[in-house]
Amino acid sequence: MSNFSEYFEQRGFRCHSPAYRHHDRPHSDDSSAILAGTSIADYVEDIIGFVKTLNTTPILVGHSLGGLIAQKLAAIGLARAIVLLNGSVNWGVLPTTRQERELGKMFMSAGSFWENTLLPDFDTMAKFGLNKLDSTEQRRVFDRLIPESGRVMFELFFWMFDENQTTKIDYDGVTCPVLMVSGSDDLAIPPSTARLIAERHGSRATFYEAESFGHYLTLEPEWKKIAEICANWMIDVKES
């Protein structure tokens, strides 16, 4: 999120980028193992704790999984507004494209992945997440990634089997403004799926389809266009 943080700071916002649990350390066998069994609920708990240290109710900007977490916090009144950048699917939202179903099948082929940690291989990330970056930048970004908890991926992609309903959103509880930005070329969370999430927020949601953008909106060559759209919307929210 560093590109966006720097841009928003220049536009007059004070920015914070708290790390998810166990994500603030270099990748190693030990750091990977400690993630096993971690739940999205743990990440939500950590971000709630951080937000409660602030002296004002923030505007939350979440990319992918961060979009889900932002909605969770908004549902309990901890957000002035939320910006969802290719926000992950929520409980009850089915895949709308062949590529989404293909991605789910790839997780299924990984065995009992929910018990371990998981990092998709380079080719998978290049196709589903980094498809709008050139090959050199794809490799640079991939090399910075760390594995994710398999349980987190299970809760996201196989929510129908999650007895805890971890990703379920209380949409009626989200009373603040919502901006959903969806990359037209995002294969992991395509606009057709993102719209279903935005529709559940009703009139509170503004949906913007970012033409020719993929999943990593904050890193792609024209990221400033997205940052400007978000910043202008956030300023309008602050002034309303």
pLDDT tens sequence across 6-21: 999 999 999 999 989 8
Average confidence score pLDDT of the chain: 94
pLDDT of res. 110:
83
- Gap between the Cα atoms of 77 and 30, Å rounded: 36
CB-CB contact of 89 with 159 (8 Å): yes
* CA 56 to chain CA mean position, Å: 23
List own/partner pairs for 134-137 with CB under 8 A and 24 or more apart: 137/219
The whole-number average pLDDT for the span 221-225 is 97
Domain ranges of the chain: 2-239
> Taking the model in full, what pTM does it have?
0.94
C-alpha span between 55 and 35 (Å, rounded): 31
**pLDDT, position 178:** 98
- The per-residue pLDDT for range 187-219, each reduced to its tens digit, is 999 999 999 999 999 999 999 999 999 999 999
pLDDT score of 31: 62
Handedness of CA 66, 155, 167, 199 (dihedral sign): positive
CB atoms within 10 A of CB 39: 17
pLDDT tops 80 at residue 29: no
Rounded to the nearest 10°, the torsion over CA 132, 138, 143, 145 is: 10
- What are the beta bridge partners of residue 118? 148
From 214, 203, 196, select the one nearest 178 (Cα to Cα).
203
Q: How confident is the model at residue 240 (pLDDT cuts 50, 70, 90)?
A: confident
| CATH for 2-239, options being 3.40.630.10, 3.40.50.1820, 1.10.10.2840, 3.40.50.720 | 3.40.50.1820
Model pLDDT, residue 238: 87
Residue 7 confidence (pLDDT): 97
Q: Which two tokens stand for residue 105?
A: 């099948």
